[in-house]
Structure formats: structure tokens, C-alpha cells
Chains A and B, each alone.
Chain A
Amino acid sequence: MKPEPAMLRGLVRGVLSTRQDEIGCDECFEEVDRFVEMTLAGKNAAEAMPLVQDHLQRCRECREEFEALLAVLRGLS
């Protein structure tokens, strides 16, 4: 594996920003439909649901699904 400064920087950031109260993928999935609806309604979902926001920033797979769900609802509206 190549020693990439960017990889190490990302790892250090991820480690140091770790919080005790992070939620997992299951809890994020439970909440994300509400999060998406708030986002589409122009409300500040990140402020209302900070743990979901935090998880979406850390977890690529939950973020992918969140973005796809946004695309679905935008596309159908």
C-alpha cells in the first residue's frame, strides 16, 4: 500500500473527530428518511439530527444511499 500523506491525514482527522455518541448504520437507516424529507423541505436537517449528519459524513455507504434517496425524491417530484 502506498504511503499517501492524504490517506494519513484523513485517518488522523477521522480518529481525532471520533465522538462517544456516534450512531451506527442501522440507526442512521432508521432516521434517514426523515432527514431526507427535512432536507428537501429546505430545513436544517443537520442541525435537527446532528448524529445522522455525523454518521453520513463518516460512512460512505450510508452517504451513498442518502444521496441516492435524495435523487429519487428530487427526480419524482
Chain B
Amino acid sequence: MTDRTNQEWLAELREPAEGGALSDLRSLLIRGLRHAMSDRPAVAEEDLEDFAQEAVLKVLTGLPSFRWESRFTTWAHKIAVHVAFTELRRRRWQDVSLEEITSAPDSDFIPERFADPAAGPEQLAVQEMVVRTLRQTIARDLTERQRQAMMAVLAGGMSLQETARRMGTNRNALYKVLHDARRRLKTNLLAKGLSAQDILAAFEPRGPE
């Protein structure tokens, strides 16, 4: 029943009649989501139906943006998975406020005194330089928005999507905020004269001597 070519799917969905391609698509997406959610017992069958329903609507409105670079059904499953995960993340974080997760004092998520019991004296010296540079950069050079995003996502482990929602933006834009922050931190770290390799070596567990 779902063995249609891309052309057939698109042709039938552009003139959706009851039953036919529309209901085939919906049941295909439900079956797909069952596989995607097989390790999440908290997701009920009605949830899958809701996700598939919303995904079908998004597929229909998104038809003009289908780029013919994959199978149509792969593209539709991608949309269904995105709808499902978006909702599941919303539920997972719904009781957590951004304030809770970012209320520690400035740049506190990088400890002032960082003691790595596994490090030797040279490693410790590099680690201290790194910690100092990161803290200074966060305090002086990053925007409040960059700092907040880093704290929530990198230190607090909060969902990018849900942090973005609370900051009045979206996941893609928040990724870019974090990307800009990382670029600044990288520039300042490398300005201290050590290579990336040397810096990383100071954070590797020491091998046998």
C-alpha cells in the first residue's frame, strides 16, 4: 500500500482525498515512530498518533520544499521524528526554569579552583591557565546571552531547544550563539601561545610513566 514512487506520493498528496495516500502516510509514520520510540515506554500509542497527525500536516504544507534528494518517505519520517522529539523535550523540561539552571554567580560553572587528581605538575599549570582564560573570557568578552546559553546547555545539560524557547529564540539560532561563544573562547585560549594539541594533552589522563 505504501509502495509509491516519490512522484506518486507527491501527486496523490497534492490532491488529498479521504483515505488513499493521506491515510497511508499517516499509518506509515505511526509505524515508523514505533521503531523510533521502542526504548521509550513512557510514550503512549495515542502520542504516536498525535505526532503522526501533526507530521502529516507539516508534510502537506512543506511539500514545495521537498528537494527530491532522498526518498519522499525518508523525508516524511524525518519530519515525524522531529515533531515527536520536539514534544518529548518540551515535556521533559516543562518544570525547569532557566533561572534555576543559570542562577549561579557569573562564570561559576567553571570552577575557580580546578583540581584534577590525575594531573601532573606541568599538566596542572596548563589546566590552570585554561581555567583562568575561560573564566576571564566568559566574564569579560561573552555577551550575557552567550553566557546564559553556555551555562544552561553546556554546564546545566539543558536541552538546546528548550533553552532556546525560554530565551525567546529557536534551536538553530541558539546553536549559532554557542558557536560564536566557542569561537571567542578558542581565540583567547590559543592567544596564550600553546597549541591546541598541547592544551588538549593537559586534559588527557596521564599514561604510564
Contact = CB atoms under 8 A, between A and B. Distances in A.
Interface of A: 1, 3, 5, 7-9, 11-18, 20, 22, 24-26, 29-30, 32-34, 36-37, 59-61, 64-65, 68-69, 71-76
B182 A18 contact: yes
Nearest to A4: B111
Contacts, number: 129
Q: Is the interface of B mostly helix, strand, loop or mixed?
A: helix
Interface string B29-68: 0011111111000000000000000000000000000010
A13 B202 CA distance: 11
Contact of B108 (A1, A22, A75): A1
Given A34-B69, A76-B31, A3 B77 contact: no
List 3 tightest A-B contacts by C-beta distance, closest first: A75-B35, A3-B111, A33-B70
Interface residues of B, number: 59
B148 interface: no
B35 A61 contact: no
Given A22-B179, A33-B69, A12 B81 contact: no
Contacts of B189: 12, 15-16
A8 B71 contact: no
